[in-house]
Structures are given as C-alpha cells and as structure tokens.
A and B are shown apart, each in its own frame.
Chain A
C-alpha cells in the first residue's frame, strides 16, 4: 500500500490541500460559533459533540511521571519557521510560545479564540492595542517568559521580530503558508524578495537578517512590538497564534533553518525542553527550569518528562495504549474499524472530537472542455449535487459516529456557519431521479462522461467508487484516473494547464482549515476566491464570482468575528447557489488515552490532546 497508513492522513497535515502554498492567502477564517452571531457550535446531530466527556478531570493535578506518546512518523520540521503539520504543533505547544495561543478548553468557542500568551493582553480598539483604522497593533511582552539558555534570558520583542524574519528564508525549510504574512504585514513582501536572493549559508543569512528590517514589524523597546498591516485583518491574532509566529532566540542564527544541527539545538521558552532527539525514532522532553507557571496563562508542567516513540502504525499504537504501556497517540487516531466496538462498550478512554473541517468534497473542473463544457453550467453541477449519497460517503470514514453530512461551504465550528441545505435529498441519501430530470432539462438527456482523478492511497479509491456509483444511477459515467498522492495536486488539481485540457472533470479533495473560529482566510478565500487562480492555487475548479470575492474582502477586513460572519455566510450562500462544489461531510477524530492520563483536553488546532495540560495518576 502506500506509505501513509494513517487513518486520517488529512488530519496530520495542517492544510489538507496543496503541498506547497505559494500564492496562497490560505488562511481560513473559521469563526468560532460564538463569533458570528450564529448558532452554537456543536458539530451536528450525530457524534458525541460533548468535548468534555472524556477529559478525566477528576482528582487534583499531580506532578511527576513520564507522559508517553507513541506514533508513526517524525515531524515535518522542528523549526517554528517551517513546521506545518498538526502533529508538530502538538509538540511545539510544549517548547515554543507565541504572542497569542489557543487556550485549552472544552468549550469550542474558547478553544478556537486566541488568548494572550506571551502578550500581556488581547489588543482591541478599545484598549488601544489596535489603531482605529485597524492597521496598527501594539503588543506588550509578558515579563518572566524566559529562554532555557544559561543563564536564562527574558524573551524580548526582538526575539519575535527575529521569528518573523526567519520565515521566508530561501531554503526548503521556510514558512509553508507565506500568504498569511506577505500581503498582510507591511514590508514583508519587500523583505522576502530581498531574502530570496541570499545564498543559503549561515553567515549570509545572519547578515541579511541583521541588516534588513520588515517595515511592518518593529520592536519599539525590549517589551513592545508594533505591527503595521497592509490592510485591516480581523483575523490577525489568529495569524499571530500560528506556530510560525513564535519567538526565536538569537542562537538560531547560528544554524541554517531546521538543519540537522538546528534540530539538536532547539531553545525552549515553554514548559518543556527537548533533552534528546533521535530523528525518526524518539524524543525525550524534560522540564524547562527557566519556565514559570506565573508567566504562562496557557500551559502547565505536570509530568516530569514527555517521551515520544516513533514507528508503529495506527493499529500498533492503539494496542499499546489499550494495554497501558503508552499514554497518548502522537500522529495516528483510533483505527475507524475499532471505534464501533470501543463505543459500544462505552470505553471511557475513547474521545471523539469534531474536526470542523469539510472533508472530502466534490470539486468541479469548470474549465473542462469535455462534454461540450457541461460542467460550466450551473444546472449540471446542481444536478450532480442532488445525486450524492452523503451517508454512504460517511460510512467509508466510519459512519455517523465520526462523520456528519454537510450541505454548505462553512463547516460548524467556523465563523459564518449557519446550518442550511440548498440541495437536500431524503436523509442525505441522494436523489438519482431528481439528478436525472435536472440533467435532462439542462440538455443532457443521455447523461455525461466524467473523468474523476483520485488518489490511490487510503480511503480515496473508495470515495471515488462511491461517487461513481451515485452518478451512474443518474446516467453519468465516471471514469477513474488514478494518481499517486504525490502527483495529485501538482500534476492535476493545482495545474491550470491540466484543468484547461480536460485531464480531469471531477475530484474528491478535502480541506482542513489552518485554524478555526474566525477563518474566512482559511476556508472561503483559498477555496473560492477567483482572483487567486493560477498554478498552485487551491481554488481547484477556477470558480470566480465577483459577489463572493467582495464578500471575502469584507469578511477579512471585519473587526470582529461577529462582523465577519454575515459576509462569510453571504459568500457561502452564493457559492452553494452556483454549486461550485458539493460538500460531503465534516469529520470527527477518535482519540484514545491510557487510564492514567488525567485532564486530557483536545485541542482543535492540533486535533490531538494538549500535552501541556495532562497529568498522570500518581499511583500508576
């Protein structure tokens, strides 16, 4: 099979979509439910939406012990400048800090709203932290936040400036989502353009970084940072809460970003430090003596050590945690086929948490010349929207326990979510007759023949075959074009030439937003802003609607999540009206913990338990 035996490969990467983002302003603004003036943020009818159910909060927090994580593969990067996988974020939580961070909470809205971390408070217009035009942010650094250098050293505003300066370094280990910074922070473009020409040596990097400034990021004194934006961005705190936006100590200038040497010399300002790292095998984290609880409102330091063991696949991981020899999953989830049994026995160690994603969905190549350009017609796409059996697609991913049918663009848990359904079929089971009638009315009484490019790994072949069976009932012949997962975006979905030549008509990618809550920049904008179409774009179908584009601009500029929500919803409605894609479902992640793990709080941002909250039963 493929190398990737993880059940939810998409969860392990932050962005489901493109391998490399270039263009992309790819931030999703997920609005926390609270924000948008929308309804509450529960996942939906089915699935245990109760995020508090499996926390095991009983007893009082106890120090000591070694928290043992086990999983399959190593991090993508160990350098905050480049680390992009959700699993990496889990680890980063313990040894890096940002100005703002997502607090551990069983309340979805709280968990998806950035809170002050190294910053002393959340800036607003009313407290003067944000200028009245929304373009200047003034942020103060919390005292007592220290690097584990010897002697321990206060984290300063300049450390954060350095963090941003290292992002667009001209190596393979640069920021995976430059669009969140370039085009948002003033001067970032110019700075990065200059950096691109610098030869990749430690000396050259050091002199460029020390000799050049990003005009929009200034350390006005040791504890004050001033950000100037190109245009107002209501989600700027979400951007600052990404691990990319972490502080970096000056010691990092002595290494090429994320080089093997760098990885052996990480410096921590979090509760734990990496004491030993054997690439692709293991991590051992010890308490960071420079860290103090009073200077960290987000994290804790209960276990003495955190150990990560790499190697086994999801089945091996599951067996070890069930046996109690390991405590938490690293990068795998409970095998979906194991979930029904664990659930039926009410195993308290099983927790099921909503992903707030839209995954997978059907995307249309609206530029395809096949069938006389049929997919350009709204009516044809609408007909197809009626044909899909979303329950059957859910069964591929473990059924209603882990999946909820989705009928709109914005999934629950994100700003602008309002439940509605434009192409409702009985029980979400699909309506072949309706599809057939609509297709006939659209001028295709003899059906269509569509090319479906699908990945040969994981659940993707099953998804393609399910769609194929649904469309067959509507008179549409679907021909499969298998693709290696590594070719999928580069050779097919994100290649405009391939799209225009009709190499594919439909496909089933998915999307996991980079953050949740206020995230128009991380869902609607990357997927449906027609102005960004080009090589590497994640607007795979080349959808372009001026009304949607205008709504996106307004949502991004809105001061608050509540102000952004109506624009996001309006764009959502228009996109669905145009049937620009067919959403299938939003998924949940099944996690497992050992009996001795207490205070297991799932973080939506990492789709895993927050290792800085856990304490271990002392008698274990």
Chain B
C-alpha cells in the first residue's frame, strides 16, 4: 500500500499536508460524495423529479391533457375499462379516462411537496425537542423522553386514519400527521448526541464565559448535529413519501381529483388485471423515487461519517 493511498483513505492527521490541507470536513464529505456514482445518479434523478414537479403545468400542456380531464371518447371502452398506452395517451388512461402520464407527473408534485415538507417539519420539531431533552438535565430529559416514547408507541396508521376522519383530510393535515409520527425518532437521535456534546470541554468553556443556554444550544451544540440530522432528513423524505402514498391509498390523504401516486394505485387495484399500465406507472414512480432518496441518504451518511463501514469498498 503506498503512502498516498493510505492518506486518502485514513482519517489520521499527517505531516505531509500538501494534498488535504485546508479541506474542511464538509469539503471532504463533498469530495467523497462526488466520487460515489450511485449518489450522483440518484441525485440527478431527484433533481429531475424536482424539475418535473416544478414544470408539471407546461409538461402537461405539451402532452395535451390536464390531470383532471376525462377523455370519455378515446380514454375509456364503452364498458368503462381504461385505454392502453397509445398515441392519444402515451401511458394509457385511468378508470375515468384520464391520462396516466400527466397524472403521474402531477403526482410527483404532491409526493415531493408532502414528503419534503413533512420530513423538514419533523426534523425541525425533533431537533428542538431533542436539544431541550438532551441539554436541560435529567428532569426535563425524563419528561420529554417519555413523551417521545409515547409518540413512538402510537399505532401509526390507525391513529392517522382516525385523526384524518375526525379533522377531515387536506394536504396540511396530511403533512401534520406524517410529521407528528416522524419527529420523535429524530428527537431521540438529537437528544443522544446532545447528551454527549454538552459534557465536552468547549461547552464548559462557553458556559464559563457566560454564554446563555440558548446560545450554547444553537451556536455550540447544534452545528455538531448537522451531519446526523442531514442524513436522517434524507432518509426521512422517502419514508414520508411512502406514508403520503399510504394515506392517499386509504382515502384519507389527498382529496381526488388531485392525483397522488397513492390514490392512483388505490384506484388501479380494481382494474389492474385489465389495465396493468394504471398500476405499473405510478408504482414505478413511487418505487424509483423512494429508492433514489434512500440510496442518496446512504451515500450522504457514508460521506459524512467515514467510520461507518461501506457496503462496497471503494
């Protein structure tokens, strides 16, 4: 093994600093990520998804159908079965004669919006609650941690369905429900990290210099949590997307006719034997998106935390 190789793969400080001099941990992580081909492909796919979601309107104009337009002439058989992929509808139609391609495109919008918003909301709540639990000592910790335990022990779907049927479904309620069930996991991680960081010397130093609790929490502790939180956010997004699809599938998510992958799959299950395209394409979109986010999340974790073992040695 040559010395250069050793220097690249190991994290030990070296005397010869010419190669890595001045590179912050973030730069290092970025460099690692850029070398990760899986991460690049997934990142590109997610950027593409974002573009598709952002330009869903112009795209659907280009295709020629709106997401709620029912083509009762070419889009349905007289018996009401969806029409297969054709020149009229590139990916076929759904049970009401609507263009599957356009609806999958619009569904991207819902999935990304709800998925990202819910994940971000969950992380915000989780970080704040976790910081408080970890920082303020055993009494606060005990109460807040039990609260998190309670939230984590809720029967996920049952509670979501019950809540939505009482409050009435809407996108905001959906984001709220998903965030509510996701923040506690983030909170636990943040709490654990905070517990160990608050004992560090530099925190003690800050405190002896008279820094306020808030300043220590947000200026001294929080930046050290960015890496795990970022990783967790990336992994939480696909979970939220799947959760959104599940709620819509159960009829308690997005209100039709707004398309979401979940309610498309739900509508498709009655006719999938006659109309495979109706189930397949939203299914592929959902799987590809969650897979992309998950793989990207793994890569981000690998890049930020080189101590974890890599599945494929580089």
Enumerate chain A interface residues (CB-CB to B < 8 A). 1-2, 335-337, 339-340, 389, 391-392, 394-401, 456-457, 461-462, 464-466, 468-469, 472, 480-482, 484, 487
Contact = CB atoms under 8 A, between A and B. Distances in A.
Interface string B50-79: 000000000000000000111010001111
16 contacts: A337-B273, A337-B274, A339-B79, A395-B78, A395-B80, A398-B79, A399-B80, A461-B256, A462-B267, A465-B257, A466-B96, A472-B68, A480-B257, A482-B168, A482-B169, A484-B165
A399 B78 CA distance: 6
A340 B270 CA distance: 15
Contacts of A389: 72
A482 B164 CA distance: 10
Contacts of B266: 1
User: Which interface residue of A398, A401, A469, A480 has the most chain B CB atoms within 10 A?
Assistant: A469
B80 A480 contact: no
A400 B78 contact: yes
Contact of B96 (A462, A472, A481): A462
A171 to B, nearest CB: 28
Contacts of B274: 337
B211 interface: no
Contacts of A457: 251
B256 A399 contact: no
B290 interface: no
Contacts of A465: 68, 70, 96, 256-257
Name the interface size band of chain B: 20 to 34
Interface in B72-109: 72, 76-81, 95-96
Given A469-B68, A469-B70, A482 B81 contact: no
B11 to A, nearest CB: 52
Contacts of A401: 79
Contacts of A398: 79-80
B255 interface: yes
A336 B82 CA distance: 13
B269 interface: yes
B250 A487 contact: no
- The dominant DSSP class at the B interface is loop
B125 interface: no
A480 B168 CA distance: 11
Given A337-B81, A337-B274, A392-B72, A482 B95 contact: no
B184 interface: no
B79 A480 contact: no
Contacts of B79: 336, 339-340, 395, 398-401
Given A391-B72, A396-B95, 14 more contacts: A335-B270, A339-B79, A392-B72, A392-B76, A394-B80, A395-B78, A456-B252, A464-B256, A465-B70, A466-B70, A472-B68, A482-B168, A482-B251, A482-B252
B72 A482 contact: no
A457 B251 CA distance: 8
B97 to A, nearest CB: 8
B120 interface: no
Contacts of B80: 336, 394-399
A464 B70 CA distance: 13
A399 B76 CA distance: 10
Nearest to A396: B80
A256 B158 CA distance: 34
Interface string B261-274: 00000110111011
A465 B97 CA distance: 11
B72 A395 contact: yes
B78 A480 contact: no
Q: Which 10 A-B pairs have the closest CB atoms?
A: A395-B80, A456-B251, A399-B79, A340-B79, A399-B80, A465-B257, A469-B70, A399-B78, A480-B255, A337-B274
B54 to A, nearest CB: 25
A481 B77 CA distance: 29
A469 B257 CA distance: 9
A401 B78 CA distance: 9
Interface in B238-283: 249-252, 255-257, 266-267, 269-271, 273-274
A472 B257 CA distance: 12
Contacts of B269: 1
Contacts of B168: 481-482
A405 to B, nearest CB: 13
Contact of B77 (A2, A340, A480): A340
A300 B91 CA distance: 54
B243 to A, nearest CB: 17
A339 B78 CA distance: 12
User: Which interface residue of B68, B78, B252, B267 has the most chain A CB atoms within 10 A?
Assistant: B78
B37 to A, nearest CB: 40
A394 B96 CA distance: 11
A57 B263 CA distance: 46
Nearest to B270: A337
Nearest to A469: B70
A2 B79 CA distance: 24
Nearest to A464: B256
Contacts of B256: 461, 464-465, 480
B70 A392 contact: yes
A337 B271 contact: yes
A340 B275 CA distance: 13
Contacts of B81: 337, 340
B168 to A, nearest CB: 7
B159 to A, nearest CB: 15
User: Which interface residue of A335, A462, A464, A480 has the most chain B CB atoms within 10 A?
Assistant: A462
Contacts of B270: 335, 337
B257 to A, nearest CB: 5
A484 B251 CA distance: 9
Nearest to B273: A337
Contacts of A397: 80
B152 to A, nearest CB: 27
A469 B72 CA distance: 11
User: Which interface residue of A392, A457, A481 has the most chain B CB atoms within 10 A?
Assistant: A392
A400 B274 CA distance: 18
User: Which interface residue of A396, A398, A480, A482 has the most chain B CB atoms within 10 A?
Assistant: A482
A8 to B, nearest CB: 13
User: Which interface residue of A337, A340, A389, A464 has the most chain B CB atoms within 10 A?
Assistant: A337
A1 B250 contact: yes
A480 B263 CA distance: 15
Nearest to A480: B255
B72 A399 contact: no
B255 A482 contact: yes
Contacts of A335: 270
A457 B252 CA distance: 11
A306 B251 CA distance: 39
B135 to A, nearest CB: 43
Nearest to A478: B257
A468 B69 CA distance: 11
Interface in B188-232: none
A336 B80 CA distance: 9
Nearest to B164: A482
User: Which interface residue of B69, B168, B251, B273 has the most chain A CB atoms within 10 A?
Assistant: B251
Nearest to A393: B80
Interface string B142-167: 00000000000000000000000100
A482 B69 CA distance: 21
B282 to A, nearest CB: 15
Contacts of B267: 461-462
A235 to B, nearest CB: 36
B76 A395 contact: yes
Nearest to A400: B78
A398 B165 CA distance: 30
Nearest to A339: B79
Contacts of A480: 255-257
A400 B72 CA distance: 14
A398 B271 CA distance: 11
Contacts of A484: 165
B44 to A, nearest CB: 35
A155 to B, nearest CB: 46
Contacts of B72: 389, 391-392, 395
